[in-house]
Amino acid sequence: ISTSERNKITSIIEGSSIY
């Protein structure tokens, strides 16, 4: 997986992390 793809996924995960 490329860095840009991983960064996008990470951004989605971080954005969805609502606790």
pTM of structure: 0.15
What gap in Å lies between CA 4 and CA 19, rounded to an integer?
Answer: 26
pLDDT greater at residue 1 or residue 7: 7
- pLDDT confidence of residue 16: 74
- pLDDT confidence of residue 3: 92
Amino acid at 17: S
2 has a pLDDT exceeding 60: yes
| pLDDT tens digits, one per residue of 3-18 | 999 988 888 888 776 6
First to last CA, the chain: 28
Q: DSSP of the chain, one letter per residue?
A: --HHHHHHHHHHHHHH---
What gap in Å lies between CA 1 and CA 19, rounded to an integer?
Answer: 28
pLDDT greater at residue 10 or residue 19: 10
